Structure 1
Amino acid sequence: MPSVPSYFDDPDAAIERVQADIAAAQERALKAAEVKQTLDRLRGRARSPRGEVTAEVDPSGQLVDLHLADDATSIAARDLSALIVETVRAAAQDAGRQALAVAADAFGETSPVTAQLRDELASRLR
């Protein structure tokens, strides 16, 4: 029966493997912190087709800014409400696309992190 190499067979190689694992973990943590900072600054923006409504959201889809043009008051309240909701939704989609691009750039298009974000965005932004 062949023996399984152990840490005791080549302690120097074992130490090198552990050090490489630590370095890789530190690199992933640094990358994750950079991605978080980028996402914290990210804003999705959208403007209604005729420019009556402009919306800005953060990566979670929270509305952070809303501008109504002066002529927006000439739109019926019900229609203006719908236009605001549509524009905020479009801004959230923009933020989602940007966040997905950041994750894909940092972790790879097929990484588990990117895949999970893609799935979350797909279910949230239907």
Structure 2
Amino acid sequence: MLRFLTSLPFLFSIYTVMSVGGMVLVKHTFPAFKLAYAQQGLFNLPALQLAAGASMYVFSFLTWMVILSRAPLIVAYPIAVGLTMAASAACAIFILGEQLTWSSGVGVALIFAGVMLLTKAA
């Protein structure tokens, strides 16, 4: 079990979920935070959500440090960027309600194809 928890695919999954999740939570919560801060002050539910999103982002950075200690940068960086870009696009569409253009969809598909090629080369 410990070997699975320290495997690169698992670490990349944790990195992607924490990085994108934190970013989406901050993006989603920030407008409510500004409004609540103006009305109630600093301590409110949106402030806690904003802090949770920022904490997720910090945890993703720490996970990234572990990934860098175990994988070549030439492989790790493109995989991490590709996964976070694709996951960010999916979350923007399904969670934030943003629109996906045809060219953006092709770009996301190419990112997935590139990640697959890079993981086969590693």
Q: TM-score, normalised by structure 1?
A: 0.35
Bigger helix fraction: 2
Structure number with greater Rg is 1
Structure with bigger RCO (C-alpha 8 Å, 6+ apart) = 2
